[in-house]
Amino acid sequence: MLMKRTGCYRVAAVMVLGMLACHTNTRPPVSDWPSHFGFGKTATSRQIDSLNISIAPDGKGLPSGSGNALSGKAIYLAKCAACHGETGAEPTANRLVAPMGDTTRVKTIGNYWPYATTVYDYIRRAMPFNAPGSLTNEEVYSLTAFLLYRNEVIDSTLSLNAVNLPKIVMPAKKYYVDDDRRGGNEVR
């Protein structure tokens, strides 16, 4: 037992000394560091482009494809309902839907998100939770259409695509203010 405790104290002492070394600038200067560390490889332009899937609020970056709320409902039930409930309106921490006039102040897609393209972008890169990035463009358009329909933003018959998705005006957009500050890390 004493030996185990001594080992723990040694590990703790090494950690404290390591932290002190970092804070007292006793590490070698950057000029003494090797040019590479012998692992990994330089990414190709094609690899970088395959991961650069950002969608701008104006729709720049939206892929081809289309989808509608009816198809989206089937996909939602199969791939989303386990976490978000069968309708998306259940009072859970993962609530997605709040009908117009809802007074619960729960932040959902319909009453909080400023751009419809952000819904597409988020679903595409982060959902489903257990397999992010696994949905096809058509599945993402369909899920976006279903969620916008359920939040009473679009009609159930609208087929979403790269042309009409950026034109959708979200109810919460009027509450957002452009950041016009200058002199810092500006996003323009």
pLDDT over 90 at 47, yes or no: no
DSSP designation for 63: P
- The Cα 29–Cα 32 span in angstroms is 6
pLDDT of residue 188: 56
> How would you write 81-130 as a 3-class SS string?
HHHHCCCCCCCCCCCCCCCCCCCCCCCCHHHHCCEHHHHHHHHHHHCCCC
pLDDT of residue 140: 98
- The Cα 22–Cα 16 span in angstroms is 10
For residue range 156-166, list pLDDT tens digits in order. Answer: 999 999 999 99
- Provide the whole-model pTM: 0.71
Instruction: Give counts: helices (H), strands (E), the chain.
Output: 7, 2
CATH number of 55-175: 1.10.760.10
92 vs 25, residue with greater confidence: 92
pLDDT of residue 3: 44
The domain spans of the chain are: 2-26, 55-175
pLDDT of residue 1: 42
- The Cα 37–Cα 23 span in angstroms is 23
Q: What are phi and psi of 11, to 5 degrees?
A: -60, -45
CB 79 within 8 A of CB 170: no
From the number of C-beta atoms within 10 Å of its C-beta (0-12, 13-18, 19+), residue 33 rates as exposed
**Which neighbouring-strand residues pair with 13?**
none
For residue range 122-180, list pLDDT tens digits in order. Answer: 999 999 999 999 999 999 999 999 999 999 999 999 999 999 999 999 998 988 887 77
Residue carrying the six token digits 């016009």: 180
